[in-house]
């Protein structure tokens, strides 16, 4: 099987990730932070190492401001619902994933309003278009770092300057950039950054995090046992346990530590170069086929290894089905949980075929995909 659905979750996971997961379950198994016996202390130390390693990857942020969550979605919900109150207004973009759009929609019922900055039909955001939407009640700008549909990188640094100048919080959804390009919240003026452990960081599913800039206070969405200050019914004020009540995904976080170590070993610059090189081969190859429409970024330096396409009147789900059944190639079709993005690029309601490259894909695999799509064009479109 050729796996080209890394934007959903990366696969395969490095052997060291799988080994760390199994090792935790087999040899450690204790609940971190809940007891003083040696297994619990070791579990605690492993998670502290993962937190420290992630903090370094994000440009040496304060590790206590990294809250582990089960996914990017949970992290985004925590940021939005932990900070926004009735009367607040949020500026977002027309390229967002439902993990920002649905919480914002839900928050409308609580009196939090939002405005969407329209992006171009190529999915590009002009930061200048944000300014007219800012009101006195605007508390936050929330946007993704790169589109999970087109691979477009958003101008987060420029947006960060606007947010800083207007004293508005900036929340970034880094689901598609972590582990693929350098992501350093401090240098981008980012106050809150949500990300997955299971995509570019090569960790297992069930891992993610929210980074919150030091000094920014926020309400926890759930309260309970943290293993600290157990004498009190009051949720502890100390970070990160204030936000990490309940037993965590300790085997997953142990394995995530190895995923981050693997990203560091491969080198972010090498990963970026590899994924972009393959994405460019892919867009050049697909772009030459008759009847194909590509929805990738026009600026080849400002993109990730993800792009979308459609084949004339063929339904995208049929194309993905043929690729899966006849060629053993795994791609994703449909709306990719981002209906707003598809309205922006003109592919709503059917969506696109999405190809997303990961660090372990090869040039040969990309050529196999191009040949397979060429076959489909010849057999289904030109016959």
Ligand X SMILES: Cc1ncc(COP(=O)(O)O)c(C=O)c1O
Q: What is the DSSP string of 27-72?
A: II-PPTTS--SHHHHHHHHHHHHHHHHHHHHTTS--GGGEEEESSH
Kindly state the smallest distance separating residue 354's Cβ from ligand X, in Å. 10
Among 6, 10, 152, 176, interactor with ligand X by CB under 6 A: 176
Distance in Å, CB of 191 to ligand X, minimum: 18
Does residue 73 bind ligand X (CB under 6 A)?
A: yes
Question: Does the protein bind ligand X through residue 148 (CB under 6 A)?
Answer: yes
Stretch that binds ligand X, among 14-22, 29-37, 70-78, 273-281 (CB under 6 A): 70-78
Rule CB under 6 A: is residue 72 a binding residue for ligand X?
A: yes
Region from 22-30, 168-176, 184-192, 327-335 binding ligand X, contact rule CB under 6 A = 168-176
86-125 footprint of ligand X as x/- string (CB under 6 A): -----------x-x--------------------------
- Interface of this chain with ligand X, residues 218 to 237, rule: CB under 6 A: none
Tell me the three state secondary structure of residue 233: coil
Distance of alpha carbon 13 from alpha carbon 4, whole angstroms: 14
Distance in Å, CB of 123 to ligand X, minimum: 12
Query: 151 near 297, Cβ under 8 Å?
Result: yes
User: Residue 204 interacts with ligand X (CB under 6 A)?
Assistant: no
Contact with ligand X (CB under 6 A): which of 123, 203, 208, 359? Answer: 208
Q: Which of residues 313-352 bind ligand X (CB under 6 A)?
A: none
Local structure of 212: helix, strand or coil: strand
The torsion angle over the Cα atoms of residues 74, 76, 78 and 81, rounded to 10 degrees, is -130
Annotated catalytic, 119?
no
Q: What is the CA radius of gyration of the chain?
A: 21
Q: Can residue 272 be called a binding residue for ligand X (CB under 6 A)?
A: no
In Å, what is the CA distance from 98 to each residue of 70, 144, 179, 313, 337? 17, 11, 22, 27, 6
20-28, 68-76, 277-285, 307-315 -> range binding ligand X (CB under 6 A)? 68-76
**CB contact set of 294 (below 8 Å; sequence gap of 6+):** 283, 286, 287, 307, 308, 309
Q: 3-class SS at 139?
A: strand
- List residues binding ligand X (CB under 6 A): 7-8, 71-73, 97, 99, 144, 148, 173, 175-176, 196, 208
């Amino acid at each position: 099987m050729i796996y080209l659905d890394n934007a959903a979750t990366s696969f395969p996971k490095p052997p060291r990730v799988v080994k760390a997961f199994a090792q935790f379950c087999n040899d450690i198994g204790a609940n971190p932070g809940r007891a003083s016996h040696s297994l619990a202390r070791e579990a605690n130390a492993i998670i502290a190492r993962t937190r420290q390693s992630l903090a370094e990857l994000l440009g040496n942020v304060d590790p206590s401001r990294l809250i582990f969550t089960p996914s990017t979605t949970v992290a985004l919900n925590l940021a939005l619902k932990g900070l926004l109150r009735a009367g607040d207004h949020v500026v977002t973009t027309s390229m967002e994933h439902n993990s920002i759009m649905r919480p914002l929609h839900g928050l409308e019922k609580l009196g939090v309003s939002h405005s969407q900055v329209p992006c171009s039909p190529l999915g590009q955001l002009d930061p200048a278009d944000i300014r007219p939407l800012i009101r006195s009640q605007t508390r936050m700008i929330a946007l993704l770092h790169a589109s999970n549909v087109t691979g477009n990188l958003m101008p987060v640094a420029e947006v960060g300057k606007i947010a800083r100048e207007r004293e508005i919080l900036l929340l970034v959804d880094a689901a598609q950039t972590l582990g693929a390009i350098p992501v350093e919240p401090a240098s981008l003026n980012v106050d809150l950054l949500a990300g997955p452990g299971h995509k570019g960081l090569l960790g297992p599913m069930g891992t993610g995090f929210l980074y919150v800039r030091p000094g920014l206070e926020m309400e926890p969405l759930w309260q309970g046992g943290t293993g600290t200050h157990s004498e009190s019914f009051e949720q502890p004020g100390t970070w990160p346990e204030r936000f990490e009540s309940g037993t965590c995904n300790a085997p997953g976080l142990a394995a995530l530590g190895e995923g981050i170590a693997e990203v560091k070993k491969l080198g972010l610059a090498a990963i970026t170069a590899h994924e972009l090189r393959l994405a460019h081969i892919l867009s050049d190859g697909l772009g030459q086929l008759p009847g194909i429409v590509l929805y990738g970024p026009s600026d080849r330096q400002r993109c990730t290894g993800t792009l979308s396409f459609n084949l004339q009147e063929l339904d995208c789900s049929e194309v993905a089905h043929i690729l899966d059944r006849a060629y053993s190639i795994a791609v994703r079709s449909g709306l990719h949980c981002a209906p707003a993005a598809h309205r922006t690029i003109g592919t709503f309601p059917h969506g696109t075929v999405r190809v997303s490259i990961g660090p372990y894909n090869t040039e040969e695999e990309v050529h196999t995909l191009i040949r397979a799509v060429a076959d489909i064009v010849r057999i289904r479109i030109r016959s």
